[in-house]
Amino acid sequence: MRSILLGLTLSMVALTGCRDELIFVEEPGGAPAAPRAVAASYYAGSVTVTWELAPDWNGEAFRVYSRRTTDNEWFFIAEVTSCSQDFCTYEDINVVADESYEYLVSAVDDDGTETDAATTVVVFVPQWVAPPIPDATSVIALDGANYILWGAASRAAGDFSHYKIYLDDAGTSLLLGETDSEGFLDLLAQNGSTYGYFVTAVDTDGHESDGSVIGEGTPRPDFSGELLYDFADVPANSGFLFSEDESVVPVVDGSDPADFDFRLEQDINGWWMVLGDNAAVYQDGFATTALKCGVGADATCVDVPVAPVSGYVTGDMQLLTETSYVLRVVGSDGELHFGIIRVTHLGTDQNGDDLMIFDWAYQLQANNPDLVIGSGG
């Protein structure tokens, strides 16, 4: 059936107008193929209208009409002339909160004859209330990376969905990624450069909060900020082997106990240090404020300057933040050496993989209990 629409007033320049009645009369000949499977959904301040092309579609354009459900007249809001892979879409940004909108899509041929879709669709536009701004943003500088973390205040919103992480570059924002955890690992950061980050919270309707305070971090090549993953999540980066040479990467595969001094594991009871074949750990962790309290350190600084000479065990050791652990390992020379790690953070990255960030030191001289970074004395 070919239909000619009566009572239609269009403004093709401003893409506005009204449609009083959906009245059609038959005309001989073929009619444009009507759009199929029309749907509409709300997200982040706009309504997206979608539809599919009919099998006998012949390149005709489409017209999108809208009205509030409390209105009598339809308004012409757009003409769509291009679709992709048998699928068409239009985004309506002229909507207000707490209103329901009805949408109608028609196909129109060159002489203005229209064929409507069989049904109209209705979508409700909710209040535009974003979650609370993420709090306590900070950055842990690593070797060749920055780990951004923040508080969980945004989760107070019942419709909280996820976070967005942005790089702040002289006032210009660049979206780095999204996550539903309170941590994000920026592996694009380079040593020696300072990076600023802020975080926003997004609800299930796409409403985004303002940005958090900016946190900064400067990656640097040293024994601080080592990153280790849980063996079950990333086994290739779950093992650690104390290194005598700064150029040698200490993070190793955690599959073979002969190849690592310890590996990281996580379960419902917490994070664990699982020892390799040639390592032992002192039976207790030490609550510390720093790995090493050097010259000029605060008077309240607490570290472990000397390794205990006995009391080492080979069982699994539970790991806690702000805590140092002393290990006794067999070095590449076949002799016993002392090493120490201090856990600074236990958490997850944007993929949900569990990780540990820690500082470490290793005594190069065999059997010397002085825990001095890179020292032979």
pLDDT in tens, 290-314: 998 866 778 899 999 899 999 999 9
Spatial distance between the Cα atoms of 353 and 372, rounded to a whole number of angstroms: 32
Strands (E), 69-194: 75-80, 87-92, 99-108, 114-116, 121-125, 138-141, 146-149, 160-169, 172-179, 183-186
Nearest to 34 by CA among 84, 126, 108: 108
What value does the mean pLDDT take over residues 342-356?
96
CATH of domain 138-217: 2.60.40.10
Rounded CA Rg of the chain: 31
Statement: residue 110 has pLDDT above 80: yes
Per domain, the residue ranges of the chain are 2-125, 138-217, 226-362
Give pLDDT, residue 18: 54
How far, in Å, CA of 344 to CA of 320, rounded?
8
Q: Which of 55-69, 82-96, 362-376 has the least mean pLDDT?
A: 362-376
Question: Do the first three CATH levels of 2-125 and 138-217 match, i.e. the same topology?
Answer: yes
**Looking at residue 7, what is its pLDDT?**
33
- The architecture in CATH of the region 2-125 reads Sandwich (2.60)
Choose the weakest-confidence range: 175-189, 198-212, 308-322, 356-370.
Answer: 356-370
Mean pLDDT of the chain: 88
Place 252 in a pLDDT band, splitting at 50, 70 and 90.
very high
- How far is C-alpha 265 from the chain's CA centre? 23
Residue 295's pLDDT is 61
Residue with tokens 């909060």: 209
**Percentage of residues in the chain with pLDDT exceeding 90?**
70
Residue 377's Cβ-count burial label (10 Å; 0-12, 13-18, 19+) is exposed
Give the C-alpha separation, 63 to 241, whole Å. Answer: 66
The pLDDT of 323-345, averaged and rounded, is 95
Scan for tokens 């993953």, then name that residue. 229
The mean pLDDT of 247-271, rounded to a whole number, is 95
Please give the Cα distance from 41 to 375 (Å, whole number).
Answer: 64
Q: What pLDDT is stored for residue 142 in this prediction? A: 82
Residue 124 predicted with pLDDT over 60: yes
Tell me what pLDDT residue 377 has.
39
What percentage of the chain reaches a pLDDT higher than 70? 89
Show the tokens assigned to 7: 């009572």
End-to-end CA distance of the chain: give it in Å, rounded: 95
Q: Give the mean pLDDT of 71-81.
A: 94
Q: In Å, how far are 43, 72, 151, 201, 348 from 156, measured between CA atoms?
A: 21, 40, 11, 11, 20
Can you say whether residue 269 is alpha, beta or left, with left for phi > 0 and alpha for psi between -120 and 50 degrees?
Answer: alpha
Mark out the alpha helices in 3-146 (DSSP H runs). none
Give the model confidence (pLDDT) of 190-245 as tens digits: 888 899 999 999 999 999 999 999 999 888 776 888 999 999 999 999 999 998 77
pLDDT at 86: 87
User: Over the stretch 8-49, which tens digit does the pLDDT of each residue have?
Assistant: 333 333 344 555 544 444 444 568 899 999 999 999 999 999
Q: What angle do CA 282, 343, 188 make, to 5 degrees?
A: 140
DSSP 120: -
Q: Which tokens is 329 given?
A: 């390992």
The pLDDT score that the predictor gives to residue 3 is 36
Q: Is the pLDDT of residue 53 over 60?
A: yes
Read off the pLDDT of residues 143-170 as tens digits, 9 standing for 90 and up: 888 999 999 999 999 999 999 999 998 8
**Sheet strands side by side (includes 46-52):** 36-43, 46-52, 87-92
Q: Which amino acid is residue 338, in one-letter code?
A: F
Per the listing, tokens 């069989």 go with: 118
Q: Please, which residues bridge with residue 362 across strands? A: 339
